[in-house]
A and B are shown apart, each in its own frame.
Chain A
Amino acid sequence: MDEAGIDEVFQEVRIRLWRTLGSGERISGAPASYVYRTAVSAAIDLIRRRRVRREESLDERLDSHPVTAVPDPARRLESDESLERLEHAIAELIASRRVVVRMHLAGYHLSEIALMLEWSEGKTRNLLYRGLADLRQLLSARGVEVDA
């Protein structure tokens, strides 16, 4: 999302509140739950709009240039083969370990992972520890060393 997109979300909530409530005084008196629902609804609408825009732009591109995806060469730090091996190794993990490992690799903290999965931190930590050990073993068996 670019700067214009940030402003779009920012303004949307304010506009909706002003339209509905009309004055700063009434906004001040609005229940927090109402403000929350307004923010959620604005975000859902934004997500929908962005999905539609993406589809439309994809359709346009496919109509004019039937292309296959070509990733930016600057971002191709890892070989296709290594990534494919990682993908297959993750897919082989037990579901409860796999989801925790994915979230960890995506950059989430243990507390966030536990919160999202509604598991205790102890259980989450244990699944992560075991999941990463399994992943290391699966990758090693495929000739991908990641310990260095």
Chain B
Amino acid sequence: MNERLQRMYGELVARRAPADRTGCPSPEELLRLAERRVPEASRVPLLDHVMACAQCRPELDLLRSIVAAGERSRPARMPMLALAASLLVVAGAALLWQTLRPGRPMQRGGGPGAEVVLLAPGPGAALADPPALVWQRVPDAIRYRLELLDAEGGVVARWSTEDTATAVPDAGVLRDGAEYQWWVRAVLTDNTQRRSEVRRFRMR
């Protein structure tokens, strides 16, 4: 039941996308919703609108991703990593935005955004040699897109593979003592996408 209903609902929302946004909540209202600062009496109708609006939903997802990154980084007292997390999550949310556009449905599963399971290297691994990046096969995936970022969230390398293991194409970009982060996006046969968590490793 759910699969067809979800498809029907996606189509319904796409077809009813509002031409003008006068009836939509402001970006600030969406932020209050993402930060859970809206009283219940307003929260339910607001979310009811957002979930039925092809324009508002990706906007809320973008803001929710940033709020979640902010909440995760708060106790860490590591602003640069917080920045990296925010940037990465913004990038992730932007991808979500992209894939949630009408005609580009995105499948969800696992934790928030964690649908491709990374296997190696383990979280926070300290490596002497350039790593082999390994993840679990995603059914129906036709290729995987990888992104390697530095500690500040800057993109170091982007590449694709059809395999579930790969090495950084140019290992020369990896500097000793530097920290890196990587994540994988699986592109499926139906053109939907799934993504992994962002995982860190350090070169010794």
State the A residues within 8 Å of B (CB).
1-2, 5-6, 9-10, 13-14, 17, 24, 27-36, 39-40, 42-44, 46-48, 51, 54-55, 58, 69, 71-72, 75-78, 82-83, 86-87, 95-96, 98-99, 102-109, 112, 115-118, 132, 135-136, 146-148
The answer to whether A36 and B20 have CB atoms under 8 Å apart is no
Q: Determine if B94 is an interface residue (Cβ-Cβ < 8 Å).
A: yes
Interface residues on B, range: 35 or more
> B1 at interface (Cβ–Cβ under 8 A)?
yes
B62, closest chain A residue (CB): A43
- Kindly identify which residue among B15, B40, B87, B94 contacts A5, using a CB–CB cutoff of 8 Å: B94
Cβ distance A127 to chain B, nearest Cβ, rounded Å: 11
Residues of B within 8 A of A (CB): 1-2, 4-16, 19-21, 27-28, 30-31, 33, 36, 40, 43-45, 47-48, 51-52, 55, 57-59, 62-64, 66-67, 69-70, 73-74, 76-80, 82-83, 86-87, 90-91, 94-95, 97-98, 101-103, 105-109, 112, 152-153
Instruction: Point out the residues of chain B lying under 8 angstroms from A58, CB to CB.
Output: 19-20
Whether A95 pairs with B45 at a CB distance below 8 angstroms is yes
